[in-house]
């Protein structure tokens, strides 16, 4: 295994409206899509409301992880937006108006600029801006955390910009794949010995098992697969499918996601 493994990516999705059900989160699916298109994977996701102490604690833990994290929401200037302040508190840093953010906000609003609008450019000291192609109100980044608005029309292009401008060197560099098969009319309990043997013989890869009890239109089955280095996954899956065939199971490859 590499002595310098690729960094992990994470997401923090913020907003009371998501936890109450007033809004449905759309960011997670898009982050997965954007990462997958670049050969990257999501390692963690957290949902947190607008309560500042909880947000501060979440960000403290996230900063300490060393992960590359995208944070969605709470960077506006209304009283229920706490992300900028929470990030500063989590890092023990003061807040200050960022000169590049100020220039962008003034260019956006012109004579209609107000102190409240300038607050959207107040970040933890040492932050850098993330350009916003939709309305020029930037996001910000600090300590490999990238803070963008909660609005998808703004957030998603900003995340793409970060991935392509800051992390292009990580695109499609990991030796990683996932493969699985659908084992029809199978029970997990009768496959545990096979799973244990494969897990022991392929420690650099990860076995997964997803049972389904079946529906009116689909038979009971277990999805059995491996994820990890391409060559080892292929070898493990050859072992798995040979043993499934020997045991008399009907199986078929799972379509790639």
Q: What DSSP line would sit under 47-103, residue for residue? A: EE-S-HHHHHHHHHHHHHHT-EEEEES--SSSTT--HHHHHHHHHT--EEE-HHHHH
Together in a domain, 24 and 135: yes
The average pLDDT across 37-55 equals 95
pLDDT at position 125 over 60:
yes
- Cβ burial, residue 154 (10 Å; 0-12/13-18/19+): middle
pLDDT at position 2 over 60:
no
Range of the domain at 63: 9-170
Cα–Cα distance for residue pair 214/93, rounded to 1 Å:
53
Q: For residue 1, is it within any domain? A: no
Q: For residue 33, is it within any domain? A: yes
Task: List the structure tokens of 251.
Answer: 């199986």
Instruction: Give residue-wise pLDDT tens across range 162-184.
Output: 999 999 999 999 899 999 999 99
Maximum Cα–Cα distance across the chain: 77
Give the CATH number for residue 139.
3.40.980.10
Q: For residue 35, is it within any domain? A: yes
Q: What is the pLDDT of residue 257?
A: 58
User: Among the three residues 143, 170, 197, which one is the final residue of a domain in this structure?
Assistant: 170
Together in a domain, 41 and 159: yes
Sheet containing 251-253: order of strands: 206-212, 221-228, 177-184, 251-253
Together in a domain, 100 and 141: yes
Give the CATH number for residue 191.
3.30.70
Residue among 108, 139, 109, 134 nearest 124 (CA): 139
Q: For residue 64, is it within any domain? A: yes
Instruction: Give residue-wise pLDDT tens across range 224-238.
Output: 999 999 999 999 999
Which residue shows structure tokens 């997803």?
Answer: 210
255 touches 179 (CB < 8 A)? no
Together in a domain, 146 and 50: yes
**Bridge partners (DSSP) listed for residue 211:** 222
Together in a domain, 63 and 156: yes
Q: For residue 105, is it within any domain? A: yes
Together in a domain, 181 and 128: no
Strands 9-14 and 68-72: parallel
Question: What three-state secondary structure class fits 168?
Answer: helix
User: Among the three residues 104, 136, 170, which one is the final residue of a domain in this structure?
Assistant: 170
Q: For residue 2, is it within any domain? A: no
User: Among the three residues 147, 170, 193, which one is the final residue of a domain in this structure?
Assistant: 170
**Bridge partners (DSSP) listed for residue 122:** 97
Q: What is the pLDDT of residue 5?
A: 62
- If one counts the domains in the chain, the total is 2
Together in a domain, 181 and 227: yes
Q: Looking at 75-79, 140-144, 205-209, which range is the least confident one?
A: 75-79
149 touches 223 (CB < 8 A)? no
Query: pTM score, two decimals?
Result: 0.87
Q: What is the mean pLDDT of the chain?
A: 94
Q: What is the pLDDT of residue 109?
A: 95
């Amino acid at each position: 295994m590499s002595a310098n493994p690729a960094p992990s990516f994470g997401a923090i999705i913020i907003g009371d409206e998501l936890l109450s059900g007033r809004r449905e989160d759309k960011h997670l699916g898009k982050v997965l899509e954007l990462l997958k298109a670049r050969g990257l994977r999501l390692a963690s996701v957290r949902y947190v409301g607008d309560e500042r102490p909880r947000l501060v604690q979440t960000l403290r833990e996230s900063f300490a992880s060393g992960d590359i994290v995208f944070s969605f929401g709470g960077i506006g200037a209304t009283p229920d937006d706490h992300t900028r302040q929470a990030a500063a508190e989590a890092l023990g840093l003061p807040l200050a108006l960022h000169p590049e953010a100020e220039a962008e906000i003034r260019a956006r609003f012109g004579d209609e600029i107000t102190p409240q609008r300038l607050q959207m450019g107040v970040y933890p000291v040492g932050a850098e801006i993330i350009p916003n192609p939709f309305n020029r109100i930037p996001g910000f980044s600090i300590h490999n955390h990238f803070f963008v608005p909660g609005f998808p029309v703004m957030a998603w292009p900003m995340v793409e910009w970060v991935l392509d401008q800051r992390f292009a060197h990580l695109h499609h560099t990991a030796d990683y794949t996932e493969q699985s098969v659908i084992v029809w009319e199978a029970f997990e309990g009768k496959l545990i010995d096979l799973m244990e043997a494969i897990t022991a013989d392929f420690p650099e890869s990860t076995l997964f098992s997803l049972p389904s009890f079946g529906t009116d239109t689909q038979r009971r089955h277990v999805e059995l697969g491996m994820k990890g280095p391409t060559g080892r996954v292929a070898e493990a899956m050859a072992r798995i499918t040979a043993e499934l065939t020997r045991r008399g199971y009907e199986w078929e490859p799972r379509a790639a996601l």
